[in-house]
Amino acid sequence: MTKKRISIFASGGGSNALKFFEYFENDQDIEIVSVFTNNKSAGVIEKAERFSIPHNVYNRNYWETGEVIIDHLKDQKVDYIVLAGFMLLIPSELIRAFSNRIFNIHPALLPKFGGKGMYGMNVHRAVKEAKESESGITIHFVNEHYDEGEIISQVSCPIALSDSPEEIAQKVLRVEHENYPKVIAEVVRKSI
């Protein structure tokens, strides 16, 4: 049986991407075959190199239609795409080409604290301002609207009123690392 092939899209440090590289390193059914980024100085590149996973840098212009990127993904025979801190909008052509095969993680409990402009620290600052007693993660399919695709899994974590946005971010990131690869493994294995 041929393994299911996942490509990771990331724009930043890539701590979630690293968890995927580790989790699937010796997996029988699933492999991480590539990384796509819009940022040539993204930390994820060095992490991918450590695992000998090829990376592809496409600047912002290429993400407007996604045409070249779709061809590249097809050449690589990619089955699924995992967004791991990818900060540009995925073009609708790409979403159509990989319908129900693109996953995202959002660092809060959607539908709260989602939508345009809600990414990274902006999310954790908003959670702090709203004086929430919990935050968490939402793993969902990607559709053409920011953060509105079907929810696959949510995991919450308690936060204290005294937590800074940075402390909330750390707590949430820990929950991301523990759950994201595991949840995606379950979804992809179901399709095998």
Question: Judged by CB under 6 A, which stretch of 51-59, 60-68, 104-112, 155-163 contacts ligand GAR?
Answer: 104-112
For residues 106 and 87, give the distance between their C-alpha atoms in angstroms, rounded to a whole number: 11
Residue 181 contacts ligand GAR per CB under 6 A: no
Residue 133 labeled ligand binder: no
- Which residues between 23 and 52 bind ligand GAR (CB under 6 A)? none
Using CB under 6 A, count the residues that bind ligand GAR.
Answer: 16
Interacting residue with ligand GAR among 10, 32, 159, 168 (CB under 6 A): 10
149 within 8 A of 135, measured Cβ to Cβ: no
Residue 176 contacts ligand GAR per CB under 6 A: yes
Query: Burial, 176: exposed, middle or buried (Cβ in 10 Å; 0-12, 13-18, 19+)?
Result: buried
Give me the residue whose beta carbon is nearest to ligand GAR.
85
Residue 132 contacts ligand GAR per CB under 6 A: no
Question: Judged by CB under 6 A, which stretch of 5-13, 54-62, 91-99, 181-189 contacts ligand GAR?
Answer: 5-13
If the CB atoms of residues 20 and 58 are measured against ligand GAR, the closer one turns out to be 20
SS3 content of the chain, % helix, strand, coil (to 5): 35, 20, 40
For residues 1 and 24, give the distance between their C-alpha atoms in angstroms, rounded to a whole number: 16
Question: Judged by CB under 6 A, which stretch of 29-37, 67-75, 117-125, 158-166 contacts ligand GAR?
Answer: 117-125
Residue 85 contacts ligand GAR per CB under 6 A: yes
For residues 23 and 31, give the distance between their C-alpha atoms in angstroms, rounded to a whole number: 10
Strand ranges inside 38-182, DSSP E = 55-57, 80-83, 102-106, 134-141, 151-158
Eight-class DSSP state of 94: H
Residue 120 labeled ligand binder: no
Q: Which residue numbers belong to the known binding site?
A: 14-16, 104
